[in-house]
Homo-oligomer: A and B are copies of this chain.
Amino acid sequence: MSNGTRRPPQRRKRFDGPRSQLGGLLADLRTARGFTLRQVEEATGNAVSNAYLSQLEKGRVQQPSPNVLQRLAVVYAVPYESLMEKAGYLAPSDGDEARKHRRLSAFALDDLSAEEEAELLRYLAFIRSRKPAR
């Protein structure tokens, strides 16, 4: 009752081998932002259940529908197309449109692919995990 601020339990990370591309990406995006499965579920307006999101991240779903991908793209603030591509929808056949310029200028975050962003965020989380919380 008394509103003690609980801290989320930390789960041990398991290394279950090579993750599916989309699953790993989604997991990285979520954890890098510090969201829980249920937070994402709510952020999508209950359009994506936490159970299903878990299955997605574990690579147990082959081809999630674009509806789901779009919701997640909004929540994670990544381009919809990159998720579609990872899901195997957008043919990588010399895709010209999805292939966007990469400037590589100063902090060209606009040009980050979702993959790169996920890696960066993961790395940032790693950096910060070594320092006391602010």
A interface residues, tally (CB under 8 Å): 39
B79 touches A101 (CB 8 A): yes
Cα distance A128–B112 in the bound complex, in angstroms? 10
Specify how many copies of this chain sit in the oligomer: 2
**In the complex, chain A residues 68-102 whose Cβ is within 8 Å of any chain B Cβ:** 70, 76-80, 84, 89-91, 98-102
A117 touches B103 (CB 8 A): yes
CB-CB under 8 A from A78, the residues of chain B are 101, 103
A33 touches B106 (CB 8 A): yes
Pick from B90, B116, B121: contact of A127, CB under 8 Å: B116
Chain B nearest CB, measured from A17 CB (Å): 19
- Of listed A66, A79, A112, A121, residue having the most chain B CB within 10 A: A66
